[in-house]
Amino acid sequence: MRAAVVGHVEWIRFARVDRVPAAGEIAHSFEDWEEAGGGGAVAAVQLSLLADETHLFTALGNDELGRRSREELESRGVISREARAIRVLRPRDLDEVAHVEAASQEARP
């Protein structure tokens, strides 16, 4: 089975604390880490556990965090595709159909 997700990716820094601080209280972390997150990324990673092939159509930057996001997603079995435009069509008798124009992996510099 092949799956596709259209969504965003965020680079998130997490911190582990002993407990959730009360209002106005400061909590100090004892562990922290960073990884790709966001609705599109999370959905694509979860689908990759079920599908033979999962594509994520998103816009990633050409900076360090964009490259790190792409590498992490690919290490989790997600094929990231650069989304240039998303058009939602609303035919009379059909559900919404999303058409995504994506650049091929080979076209990326």
Q: What is the pLDDT of residue 82?
A: 83
Average pLDDT, the chain: 82
Q: How far apart are CA 10 and CA 32, in angstroms?
A: 16
Task: Confirm if 82 and 59 have CB atoms less than 8 A apart.
Answer: yes
Q: Which residue has the tokens 């816009």?
A: 59
Q: Tell whether pTM > 0.85.
A: no
Report CA-CA distances (Å) from 2 to 61, 62, 79, 95, 97: 25, 27, 11, 21, 17
- Tens digit of pLDDT for each residue in 19-78? 999 999 999 999 999 999 999 999 999 999 999 999 999 989 889 999 999 999 999 999
pLDDT mean over 2-18: 92
Structure-model confidence comparison of residues 8 and 100, the more confident one: 8
Q: How far apart are CA 31 and CA 29, in angstroms?
A: 6
Q: How far apart are CA 94 and CA 3, in angstroms?
A: 21
Report CA-CA distances (Å) from 90 to 41, 95, 96: 26, 7, 5
